[in-house]
């Protein structure tokens, strides 16, 4: 998917006529999420799950239906955006007793109605006061302290834009690195964990995953492959019974691995059971979220993590016969991104809770950040012009410094690795203070860059040729990191780079940065960053802040990603 983000209002009327539905009629007033929940309760719970899965798998396999300008693209986009949330709400509130089976148009209309629900007072006085209070509590040396309370309105516009982008695009960018990169970072974490905790780390890892780390990922890919084919069932048609694929469905007892496959691939039925056990939620458990969802502010309910179970538990145990036999993988997007969430968020949280034994008392989140830096370090090793600021030969540098320098003929690029910028517990920045915390973390990178330029220039000059012009690149393992944090707009509008010696700031995802490193140059990256920075107009909903390589087509798969896939899934 192209990384350009445009903001444009959708029409009030859906692309599908209400006359096509046998159950739903056109609303006579603006709906709230409470109203949408009442309307979805007219349909069978299992029917809504099945229809949502069919629509999502079709869009996954036919990505052209989501492209700008394609027939029905706006409707398809809105359906995809809200399908997973509608599935969660259906699981929590709907019933399968004496309810109508939904047609495709019913599911799509419900998604449209959920989209049209009001987002509430984004710039209300309570929100603005809360953000202003949070700003004045920041450390005095934070660059964000340059922003006075009069700037709060602008901040909240950027936060709201970031929330919308995250809600619509979180986990939607797929390439072959999307599944394998979390494994590579987790391997680096395991190396650090074993140094800190020894055998206790290995026991903790096994306790959490119920199998080995590699076995867990192999089984996840096997489940995805199985679910993509679906369960073949007999269905009635005007021409008689036909065999159809129930996409996303698979049975937990349908795996048969011969000894040769187990030895060659390293995949067992126990691995598969581990994944289905850890990444699934029984359908009956969805109802336990009902009370919490009802108590939530309706204006933000559709954005809250409680309204999207599939983000963390992308498999549904349908409990058709008994627990652990019939599963549904409704959204391939949620499954792929959910693997990364499970490994790099939930597992790290588990390690943090058991750090006294598993990590010898060390902080799991700090080790995760170090692991991400080591992952990038392996990628950057032996690249021309790259200097590791933590290398022994760079001793004497200030403690506040970026992770790497990538030096070209004209520009120097400072690279700071931040595995995640947004808070673990509020990825969509539903709470306004979560946006401030995100920007605080991002602003730390400016302080680190300034500290290096001001306090360590003499040390640097002993090791490398210093260019006169510098840009700062923040690399995070999050898709569309600029748009989903809003920090670049905040930094530009607040003049946070004034007097720093930096000509530009850019935030890149891991995939974007790796593409630059393998196929680009520091000067080309810096020039693109400076151009995007100078053209940036905060508050302009149509600006394009991409810092992307200019190439006619994307090159072949990145070498380290291809090698990792080969080691995980032997040919």
Say yes or no: 165 and 189 in one domain.
no
Residue 555 has pLDDT above 60, yes or no: no
- Could you list the beta-strand ranges (E) of 355-409: 386-388, 404-407
| Cα 171 to the center of its chain, rounded Å | 4
Q: What is the pLDDT of residue 234?
A: 67
Say yes or no: 194 and 162 in one domain.
no
Does a structural domain hold residue 276? yes
Say yes or no: 326 and 444 in one domain.
no
For residue 80, the SS3 value is: helix
Backbone angles phi, psi at 111, to 5 degrees: -60, -40
H helices present in 117-268, as ranges: 125-136, 152-169, 177-197, 199-209, 213-229, 259-265
Could you tell me if 283 and 271 are in contact, meaning their C-beta atoms sit under 8 angstroms apart?
no
Beta bridge partners of 281: 316
Say yes or no: 227 and 354 in one domain.
yes
Say yes or no: 307 and 443 in one domain.
no
H helices present in 381-505, as ranges: 432-455, 457-461, 481-485, 487-493
Could you tell me if 169 and 484 are in contact, meaning their C-beta atoms sit under 8 angstroms apart?
yes
Bigger pLDDT: 555 or 239?
239
Say yes or no: 87 and 221 in one domain.
no
Does a structural domain hold residue 156? yes
- pLDDT-derived band at 377 (thresholds 50, 70, 90) equals very high
Q: What is the pLDDT of residue 541?
A: 57
Does a structural domain hold residue 191? yes
Does a structural domain hold residue 367? no
CA dist., res. 350 & res. 528, Å (int): 40
Mean pLDDT check: name the lowest of 18-27, 242-251, 554-563. 554-563
Residue 255 has pLDDT above 80, yes or no: no
Say yes or no: 154 and 193 in one domain.
no
Exposure letters 186-215 (e unless 16+ CB within 10 A, then b): bebbbebbeebbeebbbebbeebbebebbb
CA dist., res. 381 & res. 403, Å (int): 13
Say yes or no: 199 and 315 in one domain.
yes
Does a structural domain hold residue 370? no
Could you tell me if 81 and 168 are in contact, meaning their C-beta atoms sit under 8 angstroms apart?
yes
Which of 293, 326, 359 is the C-terminal boundary of a domain?
A: 359
Bigger pLDDT: 231 or 43?
43
Bigger pLDDT: 230 or 551?
230
Please compute Rg for the chain using Cα positions. 25
Range of the domain at 390: 383-568
Could you tell me if 416 and 466 are in contact, meaning their C-beta atoms sit under 8 angstroms apart?
no
Residue 8 has pLDDT above 70, yes or no: no
Quote the tokens at residue 398.
């200030």
For residue 176, the SS3 value is: coil
For residue 435, the SS3 value is: helix
Could you tell me if 235 and 241 are in contact, meaning their C-beta atoms sit under 8 angstroms apart?
yes
CA dist., res. 153 & res. 245, Å (int): 51
Residues written for the chain: 571
Quote the tokens at residue 518.
């393998």
Q: How far is CA 461 from CA 91, 323, 394, in A?
A: 62, 65, 11
Does a structural domain hold residue 369? no
- pLDDT-derived band at 237 (thresholds 50, 70, 90) equals low
Inter-residue long-range contacts of 559-568, CB under 8 Å, 24+ positions, other chains counted: 559/518, 560/184, 560/378, 560/379, 560/514, 561/176, 561/177, 561/180, 561/181, 562/176, 564/180, 564/183, 564/184, 565/176, 565/180, 568/180, 568/183, 568/214, 568/217, 568/218, 568/221
For the entire predicted model, the pTM comes to 0.91
Which of 170, 204, 223 is the C-terminal boundary of a domain?
A: 170
Does a structural domain hold residue 2? no
Is the four-CA dihedral 396, 401, 404, 405 of positive or negative sign? negative
Q: What is the pLDDT of residue 262?
A: 66
Domains in the chain: how many in total? 3
- Once rounded to an integer, what is the mean pLDDT over residues 381-400? 85
CA dist., res. 391 & res. 459, Å (int): 13
Q: What is the pLDDT of residue 7?
A: 54
Q: How far is CA 262 from CA 219, 267, 269, 569, in A?
A: 11, 5, 9, 12
Say yes or no: 183 and 297 in one domain.
yes
Say yes or no: 452 and 342 in one domain.
no
Say yes or no: 40 and 159 in one domain.
yes
Say yes or no: 557 and 420 in one domain.
yes
Which of 170, 194, 218 is the C-terminal boundary of a domain?
A: 170
Q: Are strands 280-282 and 315-317 parallel, antiparallel or unpaired?
A: parallel
Q: What is the pLDDT of residues 273-292, one digit of tens each?
A: 999 999 999 999 999 999 99
Q: What is the pLDDT of residue 567?
A: 86
User: What rounded mean pLDDT belongs to the chain?
Assistant: 88
For residue 474, the SS3 value is: strand
- Once rounded to an integer, what is the mean pLDDT over residues 241-263? 75
Backbone angles phi, psi at 509, to 5 degrees: -75, 165
Does a structural domain hold residue 372? no
Q: How many angstroms separate the first and last alpha carbons of the chain?
A: 28
């Amino acid at each position: 998917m192209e990384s350009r983000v445009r903001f444009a209002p959708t029409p009030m009327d859906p692309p599908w006529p209400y006359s096509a539905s046998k159950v739903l009629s056109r609303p006579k007033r603006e709906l709230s999420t409470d109203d949408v929940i009442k309307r979805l309760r007219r349909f069978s719970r299992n029917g809504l799950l099945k229809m949502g899965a069919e629509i999502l798998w079709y869009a996954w396999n036919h990505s052209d239906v989501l492209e700008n300008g394609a027939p029905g693209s706006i409707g398809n986009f809105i359906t995809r955006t809200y399908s997973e949330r509608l599935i969660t709400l259906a699981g929590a509130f709907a019933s399968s007793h004496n309810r109508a089976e939904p047609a495709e148009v019913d599911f799509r209309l419900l998604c449209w109605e959920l989209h049209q629900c009001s987002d509430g007072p984004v710039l209300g006085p309570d929100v603005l006061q809360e953000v202003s209070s949070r700003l004045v509590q920041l450390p005095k040396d934070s660059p964000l302290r340059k922003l006075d309370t009069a700037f709060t309105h602008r901040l909240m516009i950027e936060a709201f834009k970031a929330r919308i982008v995250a809600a619509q695009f979180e986990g939607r960018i797929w390439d072959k690195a999307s599944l394998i990169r979390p494994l590579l970072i987790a391997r680096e974490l395991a190396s650090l964990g074993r140094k800190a905790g020894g055998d206790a780390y290995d026991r903790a890892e096994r306790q959490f995953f119920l199998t080995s780390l590699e076995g867990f990922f192999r089984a996840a890919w096997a489940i995805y492959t199985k679910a993509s084919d679906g369960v073949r069932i007999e269905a009635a048609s005007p021409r008689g019974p036909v065999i159809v694929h129930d996409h996303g469905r698979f049975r937990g007892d349908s795996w048969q691995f011969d000894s040769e496959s187990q030895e060659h691939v390293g995949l067992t039925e126990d691995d598969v059971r581990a994944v289905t056990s850890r990444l699934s939620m029984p359908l009956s458990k969805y109802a336990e979220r009902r009370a919490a969802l009802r108590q939530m502010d309706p204006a933000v309910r559709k954005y809250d993590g409680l309204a999207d179970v599939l983000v963390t538990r992308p498999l549904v145990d349908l409990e058709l016969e008994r627990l652990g036999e019939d599963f549904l993988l409704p959204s391939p997007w949620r499954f792929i991104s959910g693997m990364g969430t499970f490994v790099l968020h939930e597992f790290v949280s588990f390690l943090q809770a058991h750090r006294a034994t598993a990590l010898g008392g060390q902080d799991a989140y700090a080790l995760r950040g170090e692991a991400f830096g080591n992952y990038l370090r392996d990628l950057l090793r032996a690249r021309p012009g790259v200097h590791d600021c933590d290398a022994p030969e760079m001793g004497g540098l200030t403690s506040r410094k970026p992770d790497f320098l990538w030096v070209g003929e004209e520009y120097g690029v400072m690279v700071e690795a931040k595995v995640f910028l947004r808070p673990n517990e509020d990825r969509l920045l539903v709470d306004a203070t979560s946006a401030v915390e995100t920007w605080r973390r991002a602003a730390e990178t400016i302080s680190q860059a300034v500290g290096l330029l001001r306090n360590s220039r003499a040390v640097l000059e002993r090791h490398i040729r210093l260019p006169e012009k510098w840009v700062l690149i923040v690399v995070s393992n999050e898709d569309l990191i600029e748009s989903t944090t809003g920090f670049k707009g905040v930094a530009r509008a607040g003049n946070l780079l004034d007097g720093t010696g930096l000509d530009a700031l850019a935030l890149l995802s891991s995939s974007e940065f790796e593409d630059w490193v393998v196929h680009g140059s520091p000067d080309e990256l810096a020039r693109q960053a400076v151009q995007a920075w100078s053209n940036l107009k905060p508050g302009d909903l149509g600006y394009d802040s991409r810092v992307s390589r200019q190439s006619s087509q994307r090159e072949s798969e990145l070498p380290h990603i291809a090698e990792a896939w080969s080691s995980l899934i032997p040919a």
